[in-house]
Amino acid sequence: MPETARPEPHTPNSLGFNKKPQDTRVVVAMSGGVDSSVVAALLHEEGYDVVGVTLQLYDYSAALAKKGACCAGQDIYDARRVAETRGFPHYVLDYESNFRQEVIDDFAESYIRGETPIPCVRCNQTVKFRDLMKVAQDLKADCLATGHYIRRCAGVGGMHAEMHRAVDDGKDQSYFLFATTPEQLEFLRFPLGGWSKAETRRHAENLGLINAEKPDSQDICFVPGGDYAKVVRKLRPEAQKPGEIVHVDGRVLGRHEGILGYTIGQRKGLGIGGGHTDDNAPFYVVALDPAQNQVIVGPKESLARNILHIKDCNWLDDATGTDSGVTVELKFRSTMKPVAATVTRTGPGTATITLKDAQYGIAPGQAAVCYHGTRLIGGGWIAATDNAALPLAA
């Protein structure tokens, strides 16, 4: 009998699958910006079975102007034109209700609780990854690709995939993706993590994309002009409740028109004037007390914090999620340089982070994101802060 022909083995393609690009279906999340457009166009050029998907999300600024939804205009048009020009299918999905509930309402409630929310993390955590990933799986895709600047690396010895900071520090988006679960990371791909923004622009020009010179968005998509308080006042009118501005020593220094107009670490625009100290030193917002409707202010040293209590933790490194006293580098703002810290697990989904040196302006509601070198190992949401030497819980 003739010998049965053996199937021709395949080496991994550029997305890590052991099959030809044309046999690999990739759903690309297309926002209408240049980054995701380049991802979709280049993968299609490589021969992948590309399907572009754009989510129509609720845009508060558009709602104010009664113009409809975010991405209903130029962004959807740009994404659709890229797909049409390059020759791959493109779909627009109405996710306004999901976005309103998961991101915008959470944003408003967080401010009312006296927190400093990060809606971009919530959006990635819910609508973009959880919901869009299900769409990709329903479309029988092998993976979901995005235009985020972050590197996904194969785990050592066949272990789970790892997430690393982007090569371009100025564009790195790892902080906003800390809540990505190990299961999601197995399905996700980030082709731009090894590029600079300039490289992406060059590829967009070479591909002749209509949005090659489209500027990056600088604001949260539903916050017009960065005026967060205006958004919250519109969504929750009851939040604009006057109250007292109180010094950390208990003195009442003035009045405010609603705590949502203040953030931890704020120095300017407090509305209390000078003359409250002998040297007329500036005051900073140290804490917000929604229960008493008070803004607590004090000197800069009263902002110092070296202990963070975090909740809703997500770990991409097994040791950090189970062991105590794990040394990490920590970021509590996306643009800051990581600082030395130690993570101690305190319960299911909770942990305490002890900073080597006290830091300033840490606020509940922010994300505490941990790294080992360039590797993102996870983090959690800051629920409260303390100073071990001067216990001033925020």
| Bridge partners, residue 347, by sequence | 350
Using CA atoms, how far apart are residues 222 and 216, in angstroms rounded to an integer? 15
Q: Which residues of 224-257 are buried (b: 16+ CB within 10 A; e: fewer)?
A: beeebbbbbbebbeebeeebebbbeeeeebbebe
In 3D space, the residue among 367, 378, 377, 393 whose CA is nearest the CA of residue 110 turns out to be: 367
Which residue is it, tokens 């030193």?
281
> What is the C-alpha to C-alpha distance for residues 128 and 230, in angstroms, rounded to an integer?
25
Judge whether 241 and 78 are in contact, CB under 8 Å.
Answer: no
Alpha-carbon 194 to chain mean position: 19
The C-alpha angle with vertex 197 and arms to 195 and 201, in degrees rounded to 5, equals 105
> Do 246 and 252 form a contact (C-beta atoms < 8 A)?
yes
CA 74 to centroid of chain Cα atoms: 23
Gap between the Cα atoms of 193 and 163, Å rounded: 10
Place of tokens 């209390």: 272
Q: Which two tokens stand for residue 120?
A: 């971009």
* DSSP assignments along 158-210, one per residue: G---EEEE-S-TTT--GGGGTT--HHHHHHEE-TTTTS-HHHHHHHHHHHT-T
Residues with catalytic function: 123, 221
| Residue 84 · residue 44 · CB < 8 Å | no
Could you say which DSSP state residue 222 is in? T
Question: 140 is written with which tokens?
Answer: 């029988």
In degrees, to the nearest 5, what angle opens at C-alpha 66 toward C-alphas 65 and 69?
100
Torsion angle defined by CA atoms of residues 229, 231, 234 and 240, in that order, rounded to the nearest 10 degrees:
-10
